[in-house]
Each structure stands twice: as C-alpha cells, then as structure tokens.
Structure 1
Amino acid sequence: MFALVLLTMLPFIWFGMVVAISFIETPLKFRAPGMTHALGVGIGRIVFKVLNSVEAVVAAVILLTWILQPALVSPPAGLLLGLAMAALALQVLVLRPSMAKRTKALSETALKHDGGTAVRAKVGTNTHIAYITSEALKVLALPVAGILVVLAVAAR
C-alpha cells in the first residue's frame, strides 16, 4: 500500500516543483524591481542546483518503489516516468554543466552592478532552450504517469 501511495503521490509532487520553479518563479523573478539579469541568473544557478538535487531524490524513490513493486507501473506509465528521469539526467549531466560557465560569469557581474535596472530574462543559448524543453517534457510526462498509475491500480 505504501508503494502505491509513493507511486501516485511523487510524480505529482515532482510536477508541482518543476511548474512552481521553472514556469512561475523563474520568469517572475526577472520582473522584480531592481532585478538585474546577472543577479537573476546567479539566483537561478543556486535554485536549479537545489531543485535538480531534490528531483534526483524524488526520482530515486520512484525508481526504487517501481523496482520493488513493478506490477503497480503499467508500461505506458513506466515509459513516461522513464522520460522524466531521462530529462532530469540530461539536465544534470549535460545541460546544466554546459550552461555553468556562462551563468557563472553573468552572476559574478552582479557583484559589480548597482542593481538599479530591472531587466527581462533572455534565453541566450540553444542549451538553455534545450533545458526549458526538458522541463516541459517533465511537466507533460509526470502528471500523466501519475494518473496512469492510479487508473491501472483502480482497474485491478
């Protein structure tokens, strides 16, 4: 029963974290009075490092629960959970490290700036666009996977 709770609850919690940070907090941060692009990027570096760490723990618990109770995860739900986990792995292992040099340089310029000018966020690289796309993939896959787990269990 506990496995069922984890497999239905965690995809929705993970989904909520990604939506809250990536699609609500991040764009709004750049509209704050006095927020510079460099300062926003510096904050983003910290926030996304922590977000990805928490996501990795959630993904590991989902994977462990799935391994221990494979009958609870239908093939379509498993595919979607696997896609979300692959998107996270891509972000952590490839995309964030690739963006790190540029974002570090931008965040360091925040120390030299007076903070008097608010700026809009700018998507600067193809890597950043790939990161946003991988976030969108998780946002699509996770709630559907959670729903499919519930439906598969309800049908038994």
Structure 2
Amino acid sequence: MNAASALTAASSLVWLGMVLGISFLEAPLKFRAPGITLPLGLGIGRLVFRALNRVELALLVVLLAAVAIARPGPAAVAGVGALALLLAAQLILVRPRLNRRSDRVLAGEQMPRSRAHHAYVALEVAKVAALVTVGFTTLLP
C-alpha cells in the first residue's frame, strides 16, 4: 500500500469515526442529560455540527487529493464521489432548513418535529455506507 492509499483509508475511517461518534452517539444522548433543555441542546448541536461539517469538508479535500494520486478501484472512487454529493446535500439543502428551524425554536416558538432532521439522518446513514466502502476497499484491495 502506498502513502496515498494509506491516506485515503485513514482519512475515510477517521471521518467514519467522527460521524458515528457525533451523529449517532453524542447528538441523541445530549438530550437525555439532566438539565439539558431543548434550546440548550440545539445551541450545543449547532456548534458541534458546524465544527464537524468544517472537518468533513477538510477531510473531503484530503480524500479527493489522495484518490487522485492513489487511483484506487472504482468502488473507492464512487464512494468518494458519493461522499461529495452527500455532504453537499447536507450543507446546501438540509442544514439551512435546520438552522432556520432552530432559530425559531431558540426564539421561543413551539414547533413539531422536523422532516429535515430525518433527511439529515438519512444522509448520515448513506455517508456511513460510503465511508465504510472507501475505507475498507482501499485498506483491503
């Protein structure tokens, strides 16, 4: 395995760990902590996901460069392409809706559950599949 392939595998698996840890562990658990109100949880979530998304963008750039150099198999290339599309969908289509909604909730408005939240979770699940594909097809050619 060359350095670019190792970087591809490592970057995708680090990203995978971040998504699993934040989206599927931290995010739902924070609302069960004693004393965490909905507005407080939303405020924390916005900060955490803004930071996560910035790191994801950086990791995507690393992956794009590493894949261009390593030239892995078609599954890894398709996985990186899927990651780019999924992250773009989250940042361009879903996050703005969630931010507008959380602004309204933080302003005191009572609102029903958001379908945009379900879309974000579905995109996270798809990202997990793409990250597993990229990481393991590069690690285990």
TM-score when normalising by structure 1: 0.82
Distance change (3 Å), C-alpha of 1:104 and 1:134: same
Give the aligned length.
138
Uncovered stretches (5+) of structure 1, i.e. residues with no partner: 110-121
Equivalent AA in structure 2 for residue 60 of structure 1: V
Uncovered stretches (5+) of structure 2, i.e. residues with no partner: none
Deviates more, 1:93-102 or 1:51-60: 93-102
Superposed CA RMSD = 1.6
Could you list the structure 1 runs, at least 4 aligned residues long, displaced by more than 3 angstroms after superposition: none
Pick the structure with greater CA Rg: 1
After TM superposition, list the pairs within 5 Å mapping 1:1-156 onto structure 2. Answer: 1-70=2-71, 73-109=72-108, 124-152=113-141
Per-residue CA deviation, residues 110-130 of structure 1 (Å, 9 max, x unaligned), is xxxxxxxxxxxx982221111
CA contact (8 A) 2:6 2:139 kept: no
Distance, in Å, in 1 between the alignment partners of 2:18 and 2:112 is 21
TM-score when normalising by structure 2: 0.90
How far apart are 1:69 and its partner, in Å? 2.6
Equivalent AA in structure 2 for residue 125 of structure 1: S
Equivalent AA in structure 2 for residue 55 of structure 1: E
